């Protein structure tokens, strides 16, 4: 079983911008209730897509400048990267099926 990976400002370029697979990133905060609701969904997506996509999380409290750089203004924010570029952006709690459709679109 795979789980989401934690990203920070130091490893973002290597683990996201240089990654060839799609990367779904959840920008979250420990004090955000809706963010906590997404945890099981993201873990399920990580397991289902272990070999084809990266599912990651960025804590906006400890990585505020990264969140600001990417224009994250509300939480939870879900950004999908492909070939180092943001290709999709969603806000709020999302269904697993909708997130899977987006991942599949960028495989």
Cβ proximity of 79 and 47 under 8 Å: no
Alpha carbon 15 to chain centroid, angstroms = 12
As annotated, the active-site residues are 32, 35
**77-82 and 23-28 beta bridge pairing:** antiparallel
* Residues 99, 104, 106, 107, Cα dihedral to 10°: 140
Those residues with Cβ within 8 angstroms of residue 95's Cβ, 6 or more apart along the chain or in another chain: 41
């Amino acid at each position: 079983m795979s789980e989401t990976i934690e990203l920070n400002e130091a490893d973002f370029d290597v683990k996201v911008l240089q990654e060839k697979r799609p990367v779904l990133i959840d920008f979250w905060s420990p004090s955000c209730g809706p963010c906590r609701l997404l945890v099981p969904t993201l873990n399920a997506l990580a397991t289902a897509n272990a070999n084809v996509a990266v599912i990651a999380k960025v804590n906006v409290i400890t990585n505020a400048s990264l969140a600001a750089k990417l224009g994250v203004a509300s939480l939870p924010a879900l950004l999908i990267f492909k070939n180092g570029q943001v290709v999709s952006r969603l806000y709020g709690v999302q269904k697993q099926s909708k997130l899977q459709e987006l991942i599949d679109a960028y495989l």
